[in-house]
Amino acid sequence: MKAILISLIVIVGCVSIVGILSMADNTGLSSIGTIAQIFGSIATAGTFIYLVIKDTNRSKQITDLAKIAIVQHKRLKLEYKPILQLASTGSTPTKIDYEIKNIGKRANIEDLNEISGIATVDYAFSVIENMETQRFHANAKNEVELRKQQGNLQFEVLYTDEIGNRFKVLFAGEGLKGEIVEL
């Protein structure tokens, strides 16, 4: 980088010297004034090139710091991410018992809904700690045999982690597998 800077300064200086000397021959400028103009031109060109290179290096540093910040933010989110799993634990014709287990970090439950319209959800918890299990019930609407409709149930859980990131998981179908989506 320094070699390029020096080369550019020398080239600009040579061009300036030739221009100023030819100007001195035509206008009768003194040799001291000519020499001062030559050094002034070289210094101006060198300063300009130095500032451009310095600005480029600073931009690269800012870009590198932004990349580091993004990686750290992703790492922090993964470090505090709750991971919820759902399993059926028993049933009657009008009620199914479920367990929701957190295998990640602490989850603050904002809402838990059965969204297919087959049942209502009954739960009494707001926090699920790491490796903790909580129970809830799906109660049938309109005397429908819930067990026959179990494959059509869909549960939506809205929750946050300890640092405020919001998530939604939708458990659906026979095995009630869920996919976590960050909101």
> What tens digit of pLDDT does each residue of 23-44 get?
555 555 567 777 777 777 787 8
155 and 88 part of one domain:
yes
Alpha-carbon Rg for the chain, nearest whole angstrom, is 36
Q: What's 28's DSSP letter?
A: T
CA atoms within 13 A on the CB side of 100: 32
63 and 98 part of one domain:
no
59 and 99 part of one domain:
no
> What tens digit of pLDDT does each residue of 113-140 get?
888 888 888 888 889 999 999 999 888 8
Last residue of a domain, one of 79, 97, 122: 79
The band of 180, judged by pLDDT with boundaries at 50, 70 and 90, is low
167 is in which domain, residue-wise? Answer: 84-182
The per-residue pLDDT for 19 is 58
Taking the CA atoms of 20, 21, 26 and 27 in sequence, report the sign of the dihedral they define: positive
